[in-house]
Amino acid sequence: MLLNEEVQLLRKVPYFCRVDPCKLKLLAFTSDRVCYEPGQYLFTQGDDSEAAYVILCGKVDLLTDSSNGEVKIGEAGCNSIIGEMCLLSNASQAVTARATTEVDALRITKDAFFKVIADNPRISMEISRTLAETIRGSRLSDMQHEKQHA
């Protein structure tokens, strides 16, 4: 895939949609293109956070360990990013990410991710905005769930 194509794909990720294409070109250039077969792990719960992954195509299950084994708690697909929250918080991976289909992704190392953030304050704003929307949506969902069971 050409660098310009990767830049266009990065622009579809909410964090990066309003970022200068030149900055995205640098991010795409410093990222690694990785491919996974169904069943392969991108990372496992408890791993050190070394990279975030932009899913270019395919589907990834997000799993957590329980007393009954792995439990699916979500999934990530095309144009989504996973692993970035643990990078930002400098925490170990909170979930396991396993490919359910063939997956093509960009692996963005911690150093590259933070360099792009430092060089482009707009990304910090987009991350904050996206997180706020996610938390708000989660809270609304929780409130609706509580009303249904009250």
Domains and CATH numbers, the chain: 3-136 (2.60.120.10)
DSSP-based three-state secondary structure for 75: strand
7 pLDDT tier (thresholds 50, 70, 90)? confident
Which burial class, exposed, middle or buried, applies to 56 when counting CB atoms under 10 A from its CB (0-12, 13-18, 19+)?
A: buried
> Is the pLDDT at 141 greater than 60, yes or no?
no
pLDDT for 70-129, tens place per residue? 899 999 999 999 998 888 888 899 999 999 999 999 999 999 888 888 877 777 777 777
Mean pLDDT, all residues of the chain: 85
